[in-house]
Amino acid sequence: MAKKKYSRNNRRKKSARMSAGSLFVILIAVACASLIRAIQTESRDSESAMTGLEYGNLLEVKTSERTPEVKKSYTGMDISFNPGAHIPNWVAWELTAEETLGTEKRKSNFRPDPGVKGCPSLEDYRNSGYQRGHMAPAADMKWSPEAMSESFYLTNMCPQSGALNGGAWGKLEDKCRLLASGQGPVYIIAGPVIDGRPLEYIGAGRVYVPSRFFKVILTPYSTPAMGIGFIFPNGRVEGGMQKCAVTIDEVEALTGHDFFSSLPDELEDRLESQADFDRWSRLCTKAK
């Protein structure tokens, strides 16, 4: 049987059909690409909108009902002070990226606040074997001379071992500043665990020496939003700060305080149940 011969017209018709098929594939690909770009744009717009959300006062803490307190707001921090223990129940502050760029020099001016009932004296700490450990660090207050000065009030101090203050506690403070510079603002609340079982009392004023300290950290506008807590012994921390990472829920259960209650309930539940130190640590060095 003779092979079928294609005319020039047949070849043109086949070529036209192939071109139409190729064009159809190209059009589908373009449409898919446009759809993907639209989804990505919508997602970015959604993330941008999230950064503009207002969650109320994230520094507001509902102190445990069983805990005495005198509240005071300073330039750079809010404090709940325990007049019976002579130390703060908690200290809360916000740290922004801009504030980490402050140039105010550290001025060590430890002193009591005469306006706060139960504030200890410098003599209470003298020769005690403990350092006057900042809850809100002076290095977070470089943005204002007033904030720097007020961070040295003894209302912001607890008797803290040098091993903790110069070790894991200080390293976590450094990490929070990295977090704020890349993912701020950061909301931080720190304090002692006042559980009726102090290591001892110091000074004539019998200042309570906590056996443990806590810190809770929230970045509600980062991508992703994250929360984490820490519970430290008042001494050397074996294994570094990562060994002390816990959920914010665990800190609340230990202290009786309620943190970040102005968040929407669903978001609060999610952020306060996190304790992924590795992921949180990576966020600390992630640029916006």
Annotated catalytic residue: which of 86, 132, 134, 212? 134
- Whole-angstrom Cα distance, residue 121 to residue 110? 10
H or E element in which residue 25 lies: helix 8-51
Q: Which string of DSSP letters, residue by residue, matches 154-200?
A: GGGEEEE-HHHHTTHHHHHHHHHHHHHHHH--EEEEEEE--SS--SE
| Contact partners, residue 112, CB within 8 Å, separation at least 6 | 119, 120, 121, 122, 153, 154, 155
Own/partner pairs, 253-257, CB within 8 angstroms, 24+ separation:
254/193, 254/195, 254/214, 255/64, 255/90, 255/191, 255/193, 255/194, 255/214, 256/63, 256/64, 256/65, 256/66, 256/67, 257/61, 257/62, 257/63, 257/64, 257/67, 257/89, 257/90
* Active-site residue flag, 257: no
Catalytic residues: 134
